[in-house]
Structure 1
Amino acid sequence: MFGTTAAAAAALTVQVTAGESATAADAVVYLESAAGQALPKLGRPAQIEQKGRAFLPVVTVVQTGASISFPNNDTVRHQVYSFSPAKVFELKLYSGAGGEPLLFDKPGTVIIGCNIHDKMSAYIQVVDTPYFAKTDTTGKAVIDNLPAGKYNLKVWYRTIPPGTPVPEQAVTFAGTDAAIAFSLNKK
C-alpha cells in the first residue's frame, strides 16, 4: 500500500496558516501512516551551514536515521550544541568542515545553538516518515511522490511550545494531486 511507483504517486500541497491572515513560513509538514504501517527509510543527508553568525537554514527536517553535517563557513569559530532529548551533542570550537556528520536516530525536535554566540539558534525536526516538506515564505509546502493511502497530517512550527502535541488531522490521499489547508489555530 505504501510502495511508491510513478503511476500511483502524486503530490499533496499543504497551505499552513498561523492566524487569520498570517502564513507559517518554515513550518514542517509531514504524513505518518494512519494504519501504523512501516514507511520507506530514505535517510537523505542534510547540511546546516554556519555563516554570518547564523545557522542556515533556521529550520531543517530529516527522516529518522539521516545524518546532518555542520560546516562552518563563517569568519569566526563556533561551538554547536544541543541539549534536546531527541539528540544531545556538542561540536567543540571549530571552523571549516567540522568533522563527521551526526546521525539523528530519534524522532523529535532538536534545538541547536552556539556556545560562543548566544543569538545563534536553529531547529531540526526529525520525523519517522519520508513524506515531509518545509513551507516556503507563503506557508505552502509540497510533498511529492506520495502514494495513495490514509495518513495523519502533522504540522510542527517553532512557536509551538516544547512538549505540546503537534497539531494533526486525518487525511485520505487518493493518489492524484491534491491540496489541503491547515490552520495552526484550530480550537
Structure 2
Amino acid sequence: MTCKQALVLCFTVAPMLAVADNLRFQVTDAGNGKPLADAVIVLPLPVDETTADARMVQENRQFVPHVMVVPPGTDVAFPNRDSTQHHVYSFSPAKTFEIELYAGVPEAPVNFGTTGVVELGCNIHDQMQGFILVTDQHHGVTREQGAVSLDWPDERPLPDQVRVWHPRLVNNTELVDVAVDLTGSDPVTLTLNVRPEPETDSSLQRLQQRFREL
C-alpha cells in the first residue's frame, strides 16, 4: 500500500484483534531498519486534558526531553541546569518567543496556546535543538525501542488513519497522515523516511542563521 507523501513507506499488521482497547505501534527508520525514538503518534480522538506546568530543561547543553508533547494552554518553564548561560528561542509559527541570555530559572514560563510543532534553539550553543509538539488529540511518544501503546475506547470504531511526526522527517514542521489497518493483534509497524542523524543538523544551522540575521 502506498502511503501519503512517500514519507511513510509501509505498514504491517497481523490478523484480527479481539479487543480494541490497546493499540500498539512500532516505528522504524527506513534507511537502516533501526527503531526510532521520539516519534509521536497522534490518534483522531480529542482529549480534554487539564493543562499543567511542564519543564523543558537545559542540561549538558541539551534540551531535556528532546521532544515534549503538551496540550494547548500549557505553561512551560525553561530551567537551566548548566554552568553556562543559554539563550532559548523559536521562530515556529505555532509559537515564536525568545528568552534572552540567562542562568537558573527564567522569571516567567512560556505559554503554548496554539497547536503545532515548535522548534527550539539556543543562540549560544549551536548544537542544541529541541521540540515541543502542541496537540489536543490522544497521543504517545516512542522511546529507545521505537514502541508506544495507546488506549482506544471500545465503543468507538477503530480509525483508519493516524498522524505521525518525528524530528528528522524531511519536513518536520508538520505531522504526516498515514493510512493504517488496526484490526491486527501485533504492533502496527510504521517505517519512516527520515534524514540521517548528522554530526551537525543543517536545519539547526539554518535556524541559527535566521536568529543572527535579526
TM-score for both structures, normalised by structure 2: 0.69
Structure with higher helix content: 2
| 1-structure distance, mates of 2:133, 2:42 | 10
Matched, 1:39 2:51: no
Cα distance change of structure 1 residues 92 and 163 upon mapping to structure 2, 3 Å threshold: closer
Extract structure 1 runs of 4+ deviating beyond 6 A: none
SS in 1 for 2:187: strand
Matched, 1:166 2:176: yes
Measure how far apart 1:75 and its partner are: 0.4
Matched residue, 1:76: 84
1:120-166 per-residue CA deviation (whole Å, 9 max, x = no partner) reads: 1111111121x21110111101224x323243411101122145651
Alignment of 1:89-128 (within 5 A): 89-128=97-136
Matched residue, 2:71: 63
| 2-structure distance, mates of 1:41, 1:170 | 26
Matched residue, 2:7: none
Matched residue, 1:13: 24
2:164/2:175 contact within 8 Å kept? no
In structure 2, the gaps of 5 or more residues are 1-18, 194-214
Structure with higher strand content: 1
Q: Which moved more, 1:40-49 or 1:86-95?
A: 40-49
1:47/1:69 contact within 8 Å kept? yes
Q: Which moved more, 1:67-76 or 1:164-173?
A: 164-173
Measure how far apart 1:10 and its partner are: 3.7
- Aligned-residue CA RMSD in angstroms? 2.6
Greater gyration radius: 2
| 2-structure distance, mates of 1:42, 1:32 | 18
Cα distance change of structure 1 residues 73 and 163 upon mapping to structure 2, 3 Å threshold: closer
Matched residue, 2:163: 154
TM-score for both structures, normalised by structure 1: 0.79
What amino acid sits opposite 2:60 in the alignment? G
Matched, 1:136 2:143: yes
In structure 1, the gaps of 5 or more residues are 1-7
1:167/1:184 contact within 8 Å kept? no
Measure how far apart 1:72 and its partner are: 0.6
| 1-structure distance, mates of 2:175, 2:105 | 35
| Equivalences, count | 170
| 2-structure distance, mates of 1:171, 1:103 | 36
SS in 1 for 2:60: coil
